[in-house]
Amino acid sequence: MKKLLIVLLSIVFLSSCVTIEFENPQPKKGKLLQAYPEDLRGTYRIKMLEKDAEISSDTLLIAETYYENKDTKRQRMFLSDSCQLYTYQSDYIINIKVRSEVAWTVGLIRKESNGNLTVYGLFDQDENKEKLLNDVGAITTINRVPKPNGGHSFVINPKPKEFNLIVDKGYFKPVYELIPIKE
């Protein structure tokens, strides 16, 4: 099941904001991993990175080949053709595609010096929507694609240099922080 990261990313992405999705997994020339690296594995508390957000009681377990939300229905998400993890510079990029979606949701995972993981997404609030679309649109073409269940997605297919520029310019925003639980 692909619900955990999609749910976590969707909480921010669907709450009055615009999200840019990707036609293909990113980075295009990155190294595809078959397992979660040792430095990502563990049990974490989830903290949404919003003003006044509190640490959630939900926990996330990252194992060798899957992750699961331990406080819900124990839904596991295995690395597969629809959940791909790549190395990217000193970070990781997770790509998730749900069958009903037209494009990939892409998150950047950064291991912080304190051991926390910060997950970033390519989104912005509605009041900044036009600026984000203009800024990213100046780097690569943005297509407005109808979703099968209604609405539309903003979808890009950047070249590797364009993807690097999107990351380097800080267009990926922090979504949530994973705080390690000492066991």
Taking only the tens place, the pLDDT of each residue in 21-53 is: 999 999 998 999 999 999 998 888 888 776 544
Lowest mean pLDDT among 60-64, 89-93, 123-127, 156-160: 60-64
Lowest mean pLDDT among 48-57, 76-85, 136-145, 172-181: 48-57
| Confidence at residue 3, expressed as pLDDT on a 0 to 100 scale | 43
In contact, 121 and 172? CB cutoff 8 Å: yes
The domain total for the chain is 1
Write down the pTM of the prediction: 0.82
| Res. 102 pLDDT band, cuts 50 70 90 | confident
Chain segment 49-76, per-residue pLDDT in tens: 765 445 555 666 677 666 666 555 445 6
Domain span including residue 172 = 3-180
Omega within 30 of 0 (cis) for the link into 160: no
Smallest CA-to-CA distance from 173 within 74, 48, 64, 23 is with 48
DSSP secondary-structure letter at 80?
B
pLDDT of residue 15 exceeding 50: no
Smallest CA-to-CA distance from 107 within 58, 117, 139 is with 117
Taking residues 150-164, what's their average pLDDT? 92
Q: Which residue has the higher pLDDT, 7 or 127?
A: 127
